Structures are given as structure tokens and as C-alpha cells.
Amino acid sequence: MGIEIERKFLLATDAWRDDVTSSQRLIQGYVSRSERTAVRVRIDGERAELNIKHTVDGINRLEFEYPIPLDDARELLDKVALRPLIDKTRHHVRHGGLLWEIDEFHGDNAGLVVAEVELETQDQAFERPAWLGEEVSDDPRYYNSNLSQLPFSRW
């Protein structure tokens, strides 16, 4: 079992784009979701995984990830996953000794861009990049599982 401590932010500027070290397209869908627990299938290039997250509080979650065959993931996304699917490009940016994941959403969530950083402890101090905007860690609308239920385009 893993515990994920994640903080999520909107972005104030596009200046982060100058520091992107890598990017990848992710397609994911939820086979089950409730207020606190989500079961997700994700395809990342030629890799696929099943992920279970259970929210303990706003930034602490239990997280379990398992690789699955790519063909199984495609079939689950096609026949089982709830709609709409999440389609996003994840950009990686290093700042202040931490890896920031910036998700740029497409499709029904186009126009939404959020930055996430995983921390080792809930109260870990970190350097805020100048491009970082409002924190939305405690706003469940920004959880990917909720974006697949009520997309950004319908807010």
C-alpha cells in the first residue's frame, strides 16, 4: 500500500512551458467511482495500469497501482469505463528540487490546466514557482474522477 500526499494548483501563467523536461499523452477511464474511492484504468503509450485511490482527506490518499496488459486496458476503456474518458497531456517540470506534473486536459475538459506536486509529508515546505496560482487541493471538482463525471466544459 502506498500513501500519496499531493497538492494541486491552478496556474497563473504559461511560463512553466519553458521548463518542461518531458511530456506524455494519457487516456484514462473510471470503472468505479464514489465520493472517496475511484478505480481507474490508464493507458500511457504502450503501458497500462489499474489504479485504486481512496481519499483519507483532501491531500492524503491511499493509492494502489498494478500493471495490466495493454489489450485488457483498451477493452476496459472501450466497454466498461464510465464516460467521458479523461484525455490529457502530462508535462514534467523540475522546480525547487521537486517534480511537478502539469496536466493539460483535452476533450470535455479542454481549457483546464493544473499542476500537482507529491510531497513526503503533509506539512513539507516547498518553493512555490512563480507560475503557480490558486491551490485547489481541497476542491473535489478537480479530482480526475470527478472531471470524468462533471467535465470542466460544463462548469
Longest dimension (CA), the chain: 43
DSSP labels, the chain: -EEEEEEEEEES-SGGGGGEEEEEEEEEEEEEE-SSEEEEEEEETTEEEEEEEEESSSSEEEEEEEE--HHHHHHHHHHTS-SSPEEEEEEEEEETTEEEEEEEE-GGGTT-EEEEEEESSTT---PPPTTEEEE-TT-GGGSHHHHTTS-GGG-
Q: Which residue in the block uniquely carries the three cell numbers 484504468?
A: 41
Q: Select which of 30, 66, 142, 143 is catalytic.
A: 30
66 is catalytic: no
Enzyme catalytic residues: 30
